Amino acid sequence: MPGYDGGRERYSVAFEIEDFQDLLRLLDQHPQWRAELRLRVLDAEWLGLPPQFRELAEAQRQTERRLAELAEAQRQTERCLAELAEAQRQTERRLAELAEQTDRRLAELAEQTDRRFAELAEAQRETDRRFAELAEAQRETDRRFAELAEQTDRRFAELAEAQRETDRRFAELAEQTDRRFAELAEAQRETDRRFAELAEQTDRRFAELAEAQRETDRRLAELAEAQRETDRRFAELAEAQRQTDRRFAELAEAQRETDRRFAELAEAQRQADRRLAELAEAQRQTEEQLHSLLATLQHMHRDLTELKGIGLEQRYQRSAAAYLAPLIRRAHVLSTDEWVKLVEDAREAGRLTDREADDLLEADLVVRGVRVTDRQPVHLVIEISWGIGKRDVERAARRAAALARLDYPSVPVVAGRRLLPAARERAAALGVWQVLDGRVAKPPGRPPERAG
């Protein structure tokens, strides 16, 4: 059959239910093909497919289950992350509030401490001033006491001298004793008065000194109270500091808990990554099995397409006169020997290049006859394909043109079950006839006598 061996790669159309029904009809018509089909289809790889399908289905179920587990783990991870983020926001808010409160309390305490220290310093300065005044008053009192003592001693010395003078002069001034005694008594009264005044002044100064001492004691008591208040405020500050330290310790513990939750979350993420890696490996194995199955199916599809092409070519070889009756009469299918001789003679004569000759030898079918319209000899160069594509149309036109250059009037024809849309447009452009399921269609606007 012309061009059969070199044309297998052209059968690449889609396999459909209609094609399968055609295959079954072919097998019914040619029972001897069943053994060959079984050898081509039911090989060891195909026989091993049912376990592989079961394994693939089980792997798919496991994959779906693992995906569901992974999705649940992811949701739990997201939920934990949300809880952790909320806890982190709570912690940050508490920390901000605590920092704000601590700063405010420290500022207040610092302000109060500065104010109390200022007051205490002022009180201390007042106390020092009062102590200085009291010391000065004490020194004045001591000086006055010294002067009084000196005056008293001097007066007593004078009195003693007067007494001695009195005793000495007693004898001489006996008559004057009463008078002088009276004078002495008067002087004694004056001395008593002066002593009374001095005593009064001394008591008054002692009272003033006692009052100054009481004022000093009162200021010291106030200073002591201020010191106690300062100690109390410092104790409160120390307690607040302890509270702050405790809150910081709680915050550090919360941070450690957060770190622990992050560590658990990281471990869960690693577990998820490991499960995802396992899932990816299972997916890769599934894809490998699918690729293997796809390769097997493609191999089967090629074999089936080849069988369909063989059956279709054999049908057109057997029924060429019937299928091509609208085009030619006295149809004669060129045998392989006839076709090879025609092409090789043209090659040897130099009328065809090697490339053109090899291309012609790959023609699916060549039929000789006379045209119905003018009864002139003509050759039909036919490309046969189950689903006719654009390349089939171009091959038929190219090979018919090459044959026409050898002075053999020729018409390009494509034959098959269906014509793809792109091939239909190309056939109209190149003037290629179509034979679809036994029905001949002329290219629009292209008469047969000018085809090829």
Q: Label residue 365 left, alpha or beta by phi (over 0 means left) and psi (-120 to 50 means alpha).
A: beta
Q: Which residues contact 331 (CB under 8 A, 6 or more apart)?
A: 320, 321, 324, 325, 367, 368, 369
Q: How far is CA 354 from CA 53, 124, 251, 348, 361, in A?
A: 49, 126, 91, 10, 11
Measure the CA–CA gap between 9 and 433, rounded to whole angstroms.
23
- The tokens for 79 are 């939920």
State the burial class of residue 57 (Cβ atoms within 10 Å of its Cβ: 0-12, 13-18, 19+): exposed
| Alpha carbon 340 to chain centroid, angstroms | 70
Measure the CA–CA gap between 163 and 393, rounded to whole angstroms.
175
Measure the CA–CA gap between 266 and 258, rounded to whole angstroms.
12
Measure the CA–CA gap between 267 and 254, rounded to whole angstroms.
19
- pLDDT tens for the 452 residues of the chain, in order: 454 444 444 444 555 667 778 788 888 888 888 777 777 766 666 556 666 667 777 878 887 888 888 889 889 878 988 888 898 899 789 878 887 887 888 788 778 878 877 887 887 888 788 868 877 877 886 788 688 768 867 876 886 786 788 568 756 756 865 776 577 678 678 867 876 886 688 678 768 867 878 886 888 788 778 788 878 887 887 787 888 788 878 878 888 887 888 788 889 889 978 888 888 888 888 788 878 777 777 777 667 766 776 777 778 878 778 888 888 999 999 999 999 999 999 999 999 999 999 999 999 999 999 999 899 999 999 999 988 999 999 999 999 999 999 999 999 999 988 888 889 989 989 999 999 877 888 886 555 444 33
pTM, two decimal places: 0.38
Q: Which residues contact 446 (CB under 8 A, 6 or more apart)?
A: 428, 431
CB 388 within 8 A of CB 316: no
Locus of tokens 């490991």:
274
CB 206 within 8 A of CB 144: no
Element (H, E) at 173: none
Short-list 411, 410, 406, CA closest to 346? 406
DSSP secondary structure of 64-113: HHHHHHHHHHHHHHHHHHHHHHHHHHHHHHHHHHHHHHHHHHHHHHHHHH
